[in-house]
Chain A
C-alpha cells in the first residue's frame, strides 16, 4: 500500500465532514434569507448564541450535570443487576431455569409504557427516572452477557479443563474474555437506551435536567433552546459511543476486527 501524503491524509479526514458542513451552511442561508421562518427552525448561529447564553448563566451546566448523573446512576443500577444475572444464568443451569423465563416475560413489556405507573409510585422525583433508566438498561446488558457466555467456544473450555485450569481460572482466562465482544455489544445498546429513556422521562416529568430545559423553552417559544437541547443529547450519545469504542479497542486488541486502523 502507498504511504499517504500529508495532503492525502488531510483529504481523508475532511471528506466525511463535507456533507454536514454543507447542510449547516445551507440551513444558515435558508433561515437568514427568510426562506424558512425562524419560529420553526432557528439558524445555526442562533443555536450557538443560545448555547453561549445558557452556558454563561450556568443553567446549561446545572441541567447537564443533573441529566448525566441520572443517566449514569440508572445505568449503574440496571447494569449492576443485569450483568451478574447474565453471568449467573450463563454459568449455572439452575439459575437460568429459575429466572430466565420470568426475565423474558418482563422483557416484552415496553418499559416506557410504565411511565404513568412510575409517576404514581414515585411522583416526578429522582426515583422515577432512575427506575426507568435502570429497567431499560437491564435487558440489553443481561441478554448480551448471557449470549456471550453461551457462545464461548466449547473447544477452548475443554482445552482449559485438560490443561488443569481451576474453575476460577477457567472463568477469568477463557469464559469471560470469550464473552467480552458480546458484552460490549450489550453495553453500546444499553447506552443508547439509557439516553432515550432519560429524554422521554425528563420531557414528561421533571423539574430539572436537559429534557426539562427543552420543555421550559417550548413554553416560552424559545426554538433555539429546544434545538440546543436536542443537539446536546446527540452529542452526549456520540460521546458515550466513542468512549465505549475506545474501551473496546483496549480490551479486544487481540481481535483484528477491533484493532484501530
Chain B
C-alpha cells in the first residue's frame, strides 16, 4: 500500500510528447514493442548505509518512476555514489530497503536487467571491442547471437567500424561509448551512470550527453545519473535530486522540453539555483 501511494504521486508517463518526436533508431524499429514501458521503478524506504560506523546514507526515501531520467548531484562524499551502488545491489544496506519493480510480472528470466556505466570504461583490454560489448549479454543466447547483438549496439553508439579493435587503441571518448554499448546491449530496464563522463573533454562530453539522451528516449529505460556537474544534470535529466549528508535535500523537476538547447535561460536559472544551494550548504559547515 505504501508503494501504491508512492506510485500515485509519480507522473504516469514522464515523456508523453517527446518520445514521439524522436526519430526511430534501428534498434527501436526492430523491436517497437520494447521501446516503451520497459523501465524498472525504484523505491527506497528509510535507506541507511554506514561504513565502519560512519553513516553515509541516513534514512533516505526515494521513488524513481519507471522510464524517468533522474540526476543525483551533490558535493563529493555526500553519499550519491553509495546511493547508486545500493540501488544496483553492489552494496548491502545497513538498514531500510530497496524495491525494484520491472514492467510486468513475467517469468523471472525475461526481466530486463539493471546495468551500470562506471566512471572509467572498465573494458577488458584483452578482448576485442565487439567481445567487450558482448560481455553485457553474459549467459544469454548463443555466441553468434551475442555477437550480432553486440555489433548492433556498437552501431547504435556509432562505433561499428571499431568492432575488431583492441580497447587500448581507442580514444577515451570512444572507450566510454563502447562501455555504453555494453551497458545497453542487454536492453536494460535500469541504467545507472556513475559520473561516466567525468574524465572526458568538454566537447566529447556534450556529444556523449546527447547520445545517452537520444538512446534513453528511444529505449525508455529508467536512467539514474550520478554527477557532480550540475550543468550536465540539468541538461539531461527531467528530475534532479540534491543529496546532502546522506539525505535528499532538494527535489526539482526540470520542465524544459527536449531537445534542449545548451545555454537555455531556463536551464541556466535552474543550474544557478542548485549551485546556490550547494554552495550555501558548504558555507554552513
Residue of chain A at shortest CB distance from B183: A163
What is the CB-to-nearest-CB distance from B204 to chain A, in angstroms, rounded to a whole number?
A: 21
Residue of chain B at shortest CB distance from A257: B168
B16: CB under 8 A from chain A? Answer: no
Determine if B122 and A159 form an interchain contact, defined as CB atoms under 8 angstroms apart. Answer: yes
Question: Which chain B residues lie closer than 8 Å to A253 at the CB level?
Answer: 166
B139: CB under 8 A from chain A? Answer: yes
24 A-B pairs whose Cβ atoms sit less than 8 Å apart in the complex: A155-B120, A155-B122, A158-B90, A158-B122, A159-B118, A159-B122, A159-B135, A160-B135, A162-B90, A163-B136, A163-B138, A163-B182, A164-B113, A166-B138, A177-B124, A180-B126, A254-B126, A254-B127, A254-B166, A254-B167, A254-B168, A255-B125, A255-B126, A256-B168
Partner of A162, one of B88, B120, B168: B88
Q: Give the interface SS of chain A, mostly helix, strand, loop or mixed.
A: helix
Question: Which chain B residues lie closer than 8 Å to A160 at the CB level?
Answer: 135, 138
Determine if B124 and A174 form an interchain contact, defined as CB atoms under 8 angstroms apart. Answer: yes
A156: CB under 8 A from chain B? Answer: yes
Determine if A164 and B118 form an interchain contact, defined as CB atoms under 8 angstroms apart. Answer: no
Residue of chain B at shortest CB distance from A160: B135
Partner of B115, one of A155, A163, A254: A163
Question: Which chain B residues lie closer than 8 Å to A180 at the CB level?
Answer: 126
Determine if B139 and A254 form an interchain contact, defined as CB atoms under 8 angstroms apart. Answer: no
**A159-B118, A165-B138 given as contacts; is B90 within 8 A of A177 (CB)?**
no
A173: CB under 8 A from chain B? Answer: yes
Question: Which chain B residues lie closer than 8 Å to A166 at the CB level?
Answer: 138-139
Q: Which of B109-126 contact A (CB under 8 A)?
A: 113, 115-116, 118, 120, 122, 124-126
CA distance A180 to B125 in the complex (A): 12
A169: CB under 8 A from chain B? Answer: yes
How large, as a class, is the contact surface on chain B? 20 to 34
Q: Lowest 6 CB-CB distances: which A-B pairs, in order?
A: A177-B126, A159-B122, A254-B126, A254-B166, A164-B138, A165-B138
Interface string of A144-160 (1 = CB under 8 A from B): 00000000000110111
Q: Give the interface SS of chain B, mostly helix, strand, loop or mixed.
A: loop
Binding site for A on B (CB under 8 A): 88, 90, 113, 115-116, 118, 120, 122, 124-127, 135-136, 138-139, 166-168, 182
Determine if B120 and A165 form an interchain contact, defined as CB atoms under 8 angstroms apart. Answer: no
Since A166-B138, A180-B126 are in contact, a sample of 11 more A-B pairs with Cβ atoms closer than 8 Å, ordered by chain A residue number, is A156-B122, A162-B90, A163-B115, A163-B135, A163-B182, A164-B139, A169-B138, A173-B124, A174-B124, A178-B126, A256-B168
CA distance A166 to B138 in the complex (A): 8
Question: Which chain B residues lie closer than 8 Å to A165 at the CB level?
Answer: 135, 138-139
Residue of chain A at shortest CB distance from B120: A155
What is the CB-to-nearest-CB distance from A70 to chain B, in angstroms, rounded to a whole number?
A: 35
Residue of chain A at shortest CB distance from B121: A159
Question: Which chain B residues lie closer than 8 Å to A159 at the CB level?
Answer: 118, 122, 135
Determine if B116 and A255 form an interchain contact, defined as CB atoms under 8 angstroms apart. Answer: no
CA distance A162 to B136 in the complex (A): 9
What is the CB-to-nearest-CB distance from B84 to chain A, in angstroms, rounded to a whole number?
A: 12
Q: Which of A242-261 contact B (CB under 8 A)?
A: 252-256
CA distance A215 to B202 in the complex (A): 72
Determine if A155 and B139 form an interchain contact, defined as CB atoms under 8 angstroms apart. Answer: no
What is the CB-to-nearest-CB distance from A253 to chain B, in angstroms, rounded to a whole number?
A: 8
CA distance A185 to B126 in the complex (A): 17
CA distance A160 to B167 in the complex (A): 16
Determine if B135 and A173 form an interchain contact, defined as CB atoms under 8 angstroms apart. Answer: yes
Question: Which chain B residues lie closer than 8 Å to A156 at the CB level?
Answer: 122, 124
CA distance A169 to B113 in the complex (A): 18
CA distance A178 to B126 in the complex (A): 8
CA distance A155 to B124 in the complex (A): 10
Question: Which chain B residues lie closer than 8 Å to A169 at the CB level?
Answer: 138-139
Q: Which of A151-208 contact B (CB under 8 A)?
A: 155-156, 158-160, 162-166, 169, 173-174, 177-178, 180
